[in-house]
C-alpha cells in the first residue's frame, strides 16, 4: 500500500531530525526540540489515520521518536555521568529511515552520544579544560613528568565510576526482579484466598438451600398437624355440647316437678 502524505512528511521530518542529532549543535539550539514535538503530533495523527501503515512500521517510528526525545532529555542533565547513564537506557531504531541509509541513523547517533559522554567523563576525571591559558615551560615539564601517574589514576577512577554505574544497574535489575517475584507471590496468595472464599460461599449457599427446603417441609407438616388438631377439637366440643343437652332433657323429665 502506498504511503500517505502524512507518513511521507513524517519520514522527511524524522530524517531531518536524525541528521541534526548527528551534527554538533550549540547549547542554545532549539529547533531540534521543536521538530521532535512536531514528530510526536504527526505520529499520533498517523496512528488514527485512515490509511495508516502496519503496526510494525508505526512501532519503529515510535521507537525513533522516543529515542530522539530521550536523547534531548539526557542532554539537559547536569553531569556527564548522568548523561551516560541515561544514554544507556535509550533504544535506537532497528530499521533505516530512508533507503540511502545502510545503518539506522539513530544507532549512529546513539554510538556518537555514548562516545561523547565517555570522553566528557574522562575529561572531568583528568581535570582538563580547553579554556585554561597556556602553561609555561616549567609547568608543562612538571605535567609531562606526572602525566603517566595521572593517566593511571584517571583510568582507575574511570573504571571505578563505570563499575559503580554497572553495580547500580545490577541493583536496579535485582530490585525489579524482587518486586516482580513479590507481586507474583502476592497474586498467588490472593488467588488462593479468593478460591477458598468462593468455596466457602458455595458451601454456605448450598447449606442455605438445604435449610430452606427443610423449613418448607416442616412448615407443611405443622400446617397439616394444626388443621388436624382443630378438627378433633371441634368434634370434641360438639360431642360435649350434645351430651350436656341430652343430660339436661333427661334431668328435666326424670326429676319431679316442684309443688
Look-up of cell digits 511521507: 8
Cα angle 102, 103, 109 (rounded to 5 degrees) comes to: 140
The better pLDDT of the pair 3, 163 is held by 163
Cell of 97: 529511515
The better pLDDT of the pair 121, 153 is held by 121
User: What one-character-per-residue DSSP string does 98-134 give?
Assistant: STT-SS-HHHHHHHHHHHHHHHHHHHHHHT--TTSPP
* Residue 135, pLDDT score: 44
* Residue 241, pLDDT score: 92
Q: What is the mean pLDDT of the chain?
A: 78
Around Cβ 213, how many Cβ atoms within 10 Å?
Answer: 10
| Every domain of the chain and the residues it spans | 1-91
Lowest mean pLDDT among 32-41, 121-130, 212-221, 242-251: 121-130
* Residue 138, pLDDT score: 43
Out of 66-70, 105-109, 249-253, give the one with best mean pLDDT: 66-70
Cβ density class 17-39: b for 16+ within 10 Å, e for less: bbebbeeeeeeeeeebbebbeeb
* Residue 242, pLDDT score: 92
Distance from C-alpha of 109 to C-alpha of 101, rounded to nearest angstrom = 13
Look-up of cell digits 545503518: 103
Distance from C-alpha of 95 to C-alpha of 103, rounded to nearest angstrom = 8
pLDDT digits (tens, 9 = 90+) for 162-198: 777 777 878 888 888 888 888 888 988 999 899 999 9
* Residue 236, pLDDT score: 84
pLDDT digits (tens, 9 = 90+) for 94-149: 788 777 777 788 888 888 888 888 888 777 777 654 434 344 434 444 444 444 55
Secondary structure (H, E, C), 149-218: HHHHHHHHHHHHHHHHHHHHHHHHHHHHHHHHHHHHHHHHHHHHHHHHHHHHHHHHHHHHHHHHHHHHHH
Q: Calculate mean pLDDT across residues 203-229.
A: 84
Amino acid at each position: 500500500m502506498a504511503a500517505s502524505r502524512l507518513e511521507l512528511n513524517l519520514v522527511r521530518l524524522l530524517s531531518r531530525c536524525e541528521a541534526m542529532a548527528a551534527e554538533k549543535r550549540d547549547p542554545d539550539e532549539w529547533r531540534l526540540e521543536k521538530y521532535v514535538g512536531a514528530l510526536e503530533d504527526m505520529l499520533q495523527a498517523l496512528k488514527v489515520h485512515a490509511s495508516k501503515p502496519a503496526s510494525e512500521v508505526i512501532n519503529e517510528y515510535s521507537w525513533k521518536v522516543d529515542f530522539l526525545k530521550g536523547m534531548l532529555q539526557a542532554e539537559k542533565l547536569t553531569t556527564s555521568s548522568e548523561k551516560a547513564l541515561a544514554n544507556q537506557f535509550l533504544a535506537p531504531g532497528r530499521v533505516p529511515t530512508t533507503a540511502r541509509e545502510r545503518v539506522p541513523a539513530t544507532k549512529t547517533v546513539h554510538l556518537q552520544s555514548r562516545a561523547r559522554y565517555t570522553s566528557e567523563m574522562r575529561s572531568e576525571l583528568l581535570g582538563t579544560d580547553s579554556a585554561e591559558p597556556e602553561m609555561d615551560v616549567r609547568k608543562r615539564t612538571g605535567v609531562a613528568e606526572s602525566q603517566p601517574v595521572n593517566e593511571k589514576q584517571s583510568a582507575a577512577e574511570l573504571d571505578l565510576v563505570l563499575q559503580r554505574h554497572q553495580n547500580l544497574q545490577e541493583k536496579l535489575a535485582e530490585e525489579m526482579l524482587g518486586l516482580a517475584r513479590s507481586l507474583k507471590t502476592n497474586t498467588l496468595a490472593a488467588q488462593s484466598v479468593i478460591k477458598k472464599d468462593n468455596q466457602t460461599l458455595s458451601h454456605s449457599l448450598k447449606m442455605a438451600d438445604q435449610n430452606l427446603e427443610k423449613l418448607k417441609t416442616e412448615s407443611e407438616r405443622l400446617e397439616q398437624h394444626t388443621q388436624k388438631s382443630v378438627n378433633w377439637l371441634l368434634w370434641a366440643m360438639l360431642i360435649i355440647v350434645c351430651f350436656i343437652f341430652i343430660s339436661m332433657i333427661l334431668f328435666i323429665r326424670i326429676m319431679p316437678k316442684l309443688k
